[in-house]
Structure 1
Amino acid sequence: GGATSGGRGLRATSKTDKNYFEDDLCSALLSADSIQDRCSRQGCHRVLIHPKSDERFENPVDWTESGGASVDIGLPSPDCRAAPRMESRLRGDGKPLTPRVVLGPGVLLSVLAAVAICHGSCNHRVPSPAEVVHHVYLKPERLTKRSSPDDLQLKIKIIYDSSVDQLPADKRRLVKDKLFPQAIDFLQRAFSVRRRVGPILLSRQCATNQYMRKRDDPHRYCQESCADVTRCGPVIVPHHHLQQCKVCSEFGKSCGPTGPPDGPGVEGSDFVLYVSGITTERCGQENIVAYAAYCQLEAELDRPIAGYANLCPTMISSQPQEFEGMLSTVKHEIIHALGFSAGLFAFYHDDEGKPLTPRFASGLPAFNESLGLYQWSEAVIRRVSRLWDIRGGVMVRHHVHVMVTPRVVEEARNHFNCPILEGMELENQGGPALNSITGRKDFWRTRP
């Protein structure tokens, strides 16, 4: 993903709910106006939100006189919105509880929309197929017992690239002592995972990006040779995090291991995050502060087990007033690496661990060349028609893409108290119709 510097998005709330929404979990609510027409039968009405005070105006005259832009924002009425449900999520001190999301067969991503905010606009780029290693074999270990929340808590291991140590001292301390520790602590408390006990060992990339698989063998074999180095984004993965190289001859007649044996891997972790501070080509685009993505997915559930986050050095600010914005950006980017990316929609599974999108014999879904993505099924994303009521009493029909996985539908309906919602609408931020699908824009709507 990529996040640019800019103003914080509007919160779809009134001042009475401010304690709840000021927390990072909910400062970017699920796209409220995406459900406006679906809730209209249940008492929804339109309101306007002032960009500075967050006050709600039901009268456009009040809105204009208060200095607000002449823009309509569709919000559900108190009958439809989630205010009653909010109270149950607050602790006694008025602070919000941290919901937990299971990363595994159950695809519960509605909370991701609330967590995945950024400081300004976001520009997530889906990794190309050559940048991602699928079906990484992890040694079969027992699943941990679901005895307590602590047993299930997501464990993220941060590996700092040498480029971080080359940053100026103030920026280095900010990244290593505050920014990433706080972001990771927040996400580990928010997410649960069906964990396997054992080290993460990543697969080596192939020199020609061509590989083979043998029947009844979970490993992948490079054609003729492995690459000299294996990368996760701009970061070179340490050799001790890698499996032994496995190769086949050109026609697959002779296959076997070669080179150094398996490294010890990364113990006690569900996800390895490689953090770098490298001035890459992307850093020169649109004032990007940071970007992140996944790089390797395990074989059983297609869950990302490794990813990266790169901070653009010139955009790192050690000014105290900039910290909260940067922290929000880092959280947002790590969310992309953990799995909330259009590039992984086709790899989502149901609660039983079955893929929601059909696979070929290779174990991969069909690849959509025009989008540059693996093509998801309608069990994940569906195109639906919406009617928007705009100024002047005009109704406009447009088509949107909606996430319709069972958990997302359930959470969206409960959150907005609207039982007819098909799912949660993905965002296009006013750009081309498929921006949210290709990952070129942020998925969830915020208002500048």
Structure 2
Amino acid sequence: MQKSFFTLLVLLCGTAAVVGQEQPNIVLLFVDDLGWADLGYQNQALHTPNIDRLKASGLYFERAYIPTPTCSPSRASLLTGKEAARMQFYRHIPNSVKHGFTPEGRTDEPFSQWAKDPVQLPTRNWLPLEEVTYAEKLKEQGYYNMFVGKWHLGHEDYHPVQQGFDAQFGTGNHGHPGSYIAPFFRKASPLPDAPEGAYLTDVLTDESVRFIEDYDRPAPFMLSHWYYTVHGPHIGRPDLVERYTKEGLSGKYAQYAAMVTALDESVSRILEAVDKKGMTDNTVIVFISDQGGYFDNAPLSGGKTGGNTLGEGGARVPLLISYPGLTRPGSSTSVPVQSIDLFPTFLELASGKKYKDDKIQGKSLLPLLRGKKMKRRDLYFFRSYEDQRSAVISGHWKLKRYHSGKFELYNLNEDLAEENDLIATAPKMARKLKKKLAAWEEAVGVR
């Protein structure tokens, strides 16, 4: 593998480094709709021993967020390091005939509308090819980029292989399967040869494991494994559904729990493949979800649906990063971060240099990975499905704005569930955050 002399990081950003360390492989495990509380270390009813061990092996981010918590915008942000609203991604790509798409999930229209959006903001139907992705930047550093799974950023002309990835597998035009048991997709299936009865999460995991086992290039690799699970339809693997049914769960809850445990088994298999290949010590593992959960997100309020997706239950997600020799096992940080921060983090890990790009909003997490401090900043949020519109987090304070003109203010240190609105009792902080949020919205160009 190519050598990267990380002493440059000492000079450029003042962090300790390993001289002569090889460029690390990077494995990104990006889950769909997995709530912050939907893992074993938060919820004992769910069995995720392997993800729990991953958490124990590295750094756990207690306050990780998605700038626009919904499918397509979250993916656009992760890929580019940009707040999705700056790319006119306010909602998911609908992929439906009623929104002007073909049954195969294609369209020539660059934007679509949402009937219930109060201000009728048009949102993109694909990620423009001129947007620069982490795959394109990593390729400049000599990386081979493999993509497995859900894309949801456009049809074939805009698929991963058009955005810097060297190969893709299991990637279709739609945002979710018709079933997690084969056959998976009704139209334009990316997995037409999957044996009847196969489970989608397992089929995608088979390919990622195969990729790792067979990898023989001298260059480092970036494996982006973007899961369809645990997005609906909630269909668990039958043996795991049976297990949870015996434990007392029923209906959709047993199905969902089975999906979460199948995810956990997938993570285990991928990590085991890395280990058997002798790559563990030089591989960065990143685990993150694209938005909050569909079910109960207690103690957090809000979730994927219900009109409060900018609540902590909708915008806060699990984020785990493990890199032996860099991250301290069992460590955690309460510093608020966003998914956009992974883009510059990947580039600094790959290049050994401080990444500077004024076109992105993401900030490198490398200081936190090394146990150092990160410069304080405010985090911004926006989406446009219903009345709820935007938000800003500044330290432990959070302001939410609605299209109807309403504002809410919360102190997250004292009120994690966002039950005690302080908009009337903390007027000075309310004015300060309103001013910040208004300035950000003007800069972004949202109305």
Q: TM-score range by the shorter chain?
A: under 0.3
Instruction: Choose between structure 1 and 2 for higher RCO, CA contacts under 8 A separated by at least 6 residues.
Output: 2
Instruction: Tell me which protein shows more helix as a share of its residues.
Output: 2
Q: TM-score, normalised by structure 1?
A: 0.27
Instruction: Tell me which protein shows more strand as a share of its residues.
Output: 1
Higher Cα Rg: structure 1 or 2? 1
